[in-house]
Amino acid sequence: MISIEDRYIVVGKQRLHVHIGGVAGTLPPVVLESGGGSLIRTWSGFEQALTPHTQVLSYERAGIGDSSGPAKDVSAAAVTQRLEALIKAAGIRTPVILAGHSLGGLYMRYFAATRPDLVAGLVLLDATPEDLPFRRIVVLRTKAAIWLLHGLARIGLMQQLAKRLKPGGKPIELTPDQAAAYGRFRHMKTLTVEIANLSNIQAEVAALPATSPIPTLALSAGEHPPQVTPDQVAAFRISHDQLAARGATPHSRHHRMEGASHMSLLTDPAQAAAAGALILEFARQITPSSKA
């Protein structure tokens, strides 16, 4: 197994928690961008799948996890500017393959559109569409739940509550770093700011001018929770079809991962390995000289 270097890199006024690993070869390096509030450990399955073949960088955005913050500016422009500086400071050669999950997909689309010279390919993992509306009441309830969880974590009750919640009949198992993040003000504050600004981030992406197509692999979850309506599921799939269709031919496509949910796509070892294999296949297709 290729070792992963766990380190911190200062970008501007922020100290970012970073994983760097893998081998620098003919395939483009892969840069991983998490969804809202996700920790760097979320990418462990992808790191295992990708690092034997190419270089991989994952990180926690400013204010998330062990990165300093909280972040006041979570706009697509600000996040991608910090990421560009991080890629340079980490010594990652460009162009790279950008891979973004959920909210991270919006950030990666903005990066690819504004700095296409640095991007070899784009991977969207159950990415949030720019035209999916989020009702204000849902945003307010989510923010209230976040601060409730923070309070429970601060008084040591988060783990007990998680074990009582049994979505799908199974108790939630929080890792120590997840429990610590819930109790950390900067993490919860940044997560709240990201949720509150989601519609603004979507608007930034929607307003992007047309650019030269970039090879795009859209991977979407085949399973959705009961509260997601069939119309919303259909909207997600149509959006991912359209995103892949906008990508450069002939290697852009949309692949639905049956049996995978929004988060298990990353956290289930078998599903992460399968997604990693699809990314490697994509990387080889857009790098014809590769023999990796």
pLDDT in the model for residue 53: 95
Contact 102, 36 (CB under 8 A): yes
Q: How far is CA 276 from the centre of its chain?
A: 14
Mean pLDDT of the chain: 87
Q: From 113, 85, 90, 91, select the one nearest 100 (Cα to Cα).
A: 113
Q: Mean pLDDT highest for which of 34-38, 88-92, 136-140, 258-262?
A: 88-92
Confidence of residue 171 (pLDDT cuts 50, 70, 90): very low
Q: What domains sit in the chain, N to C, each tagged with a CATH number?
A: 4-133+198-285 (3.40.50.1820), 137-182 (no CATH)
Q: Are β-strands 253-257 and 216-221 bridged in parallel, bridged antiparallel, or unpaired?
A: parallel
Alpha-carbon span 41 to 212, nearest angstrom? 34
pLDDT in the model for residue 168: 44
Alpha-carbon span 105 to 211, nearest angstrom? 17
Contact 17, 59 (CB under 8 A): yes
Confidence of residue 71 (pLDDT cuts 50, 70, 90): confident
C-alpha angle 264/268/270, rounded to 5°? 125
Q: Which string of b and e fits 180-218 if b means at least 16 CB within 10 Å?
A: bbbbbebbbbbbbbbbebbeebbebbeeeeeeeebbbbb
Q: 165 pLDDT exceeds 60? A: no
Alpha-carbon span 44 to 19, nearest angstrom? 10
pLDDT tens for 8-25 read 999 998 999 999 999 988
More confident residue, 238 or 224: 238
Alpha-carbon span 122 to 185, nearest angstrom? 33
Q: How far is CA 280 from the centre of its chain?
A: 17
Q: 166 pLDDT exceeds 90? A: no
* Least confident segment among 20-29, 83-92, 161-170, 198-207: 161-170
* Entry pTM: 0.90
Q: From 133, 146, 4, select the one nearest 70 (Cα to Cα).
A: 146
Confidence of residue 2 (pLDDT cuts 50, 70, 90): confident
Beta bridge partners, 217, equal 123, 253
How many other C-beta atoms can be found within 10 angstroms of the C-beta atom of residue 241? Answer: 15
Q: Which residues contact 90 (CB under 8 A, 6 or more apart)?
A: 9, 18, 20, 57
